[in-house]
Amino acid sequence: MGLLLAGSLVEPVARGLLGSISCSGGPTVEQRRLLQALLNHLWERPDLRVSALEPIAPEELAAALDDLPTRRVAHLLQMTLEFCRHPQTDAQLALGWAYAEALGVDQAAADVGRIFTTFLPLRSEPGLADPLASADQPEPELVARIEGFAQLPEASLGRALLGYYERFGFPLPGRDACALNHLYLAHDMTHVIAGIAATSAGEIALSAFQWAMQDNPINESALLASLVTHEAGFVSANPTLAPDHSSLDSPSAAYLLASELKRGSACSADFSLVDHLVLAPLPLTEVRQQFNVCRPHRLSSVDHLFWEAEASAAAP
């Protein structure tokens, strides 16, 4: 999709992204590292070094990008880099607004309330009758349905989902009353099919993967929600996340985000909001093949999960 820019656009987009973070003493180490990871692993242009690029102003970037889809890609990547400044500054926020205005995109998409209220029903598991779960009552029927996956074949998507909950210690959606239970089910199925672990960096990478599969407001909201929760740290049910929390401030996390953007772009369709309950009995390898979910180039025991079957299948 549009994340895989035409060759002639990679340099101007990179220079524009660099310009969008050139404030408050210049880009942070984290911002530079992530931008270089995008060049190296998403756009495969390691010859372009951030340290040697000259930033361009908002108007110059807008002039180089004459179609709205590419402008939207540049804008959301700019917002991702913007979240990677700790502590956040007024100068960085003002610069972000300037680039958004020049590109003619909707900066209001970053509004936290809009992210969590407008798109919540649209990100919930479509195989359930009601998109919104109860905030007051558990759902024993849903729990029983998920527990029933234990009767499916060992290599099935449903059994892998149960393994995911066991590995990370998450309660089955519906066991506790929570308005997000139906969203959690769709989200967790997406983790399993993509094969990305539920770490803080993995949460952002998964949402980036999802956005790369299909650039639409629903997937954009998923990425922004992950960034404000796991990178900015100011919207979360987890009280241990502080406002200066940073999940992307390491070479491995920067690589993971960039490489998962690339891997998501290679998918044949967006599987994040298909009826996962229908797919649950199928072998996980078959589900991945159906959507062209490629094996990660650098498989990590920390960042990835459930790729052993693919490795066994590929062995002579």
Task: Give the pLDDT confidence of 234-287 residue by residue, as tens digits.
Answer: 554 444 444 446 899 999 999 999 999 999 999 999 999 999 999 999 999 999
Structure pTM? 0.92
DSSP category for residue 283? B
pLDDT at 224: 87
Question: What residue spans of the chain are helical by DSSP H?
Answer: 7-20, 29-37, 58-64, 68-83, 90-103, 112-118, 140-147, 157-168, 181-194, 200-213, 217-226, 251-265, 276-279, 284-290, 308-314
Q: How confident is the model at residue 98 (pLDDT cuts 50, 70, 90)?
A: very high
Q: What gap in Å lies between CA 125 and CA 189, rounded to an integer?
A: 9
Phi, psi of 68 (to 5 degrees): -65, -40
Task: Give the pLDDT confidence of 8-22 residue by residue, as tens digits.
Answer: 999 999 999 999 999
Q: Based on C-alpha coordinates, what's the Rg of the chain?
A: 20
pLDDT at 171: 96
What is the percent of the chain where pLDDT is above 90?
76
The amino acid at residue 271 is F
The most confident of the ranges 92-106, 221-235, 300-314 is 92-106
Q: What gap in Å lies between CA 262 and CA 244, rounded to an integer?
A: 28
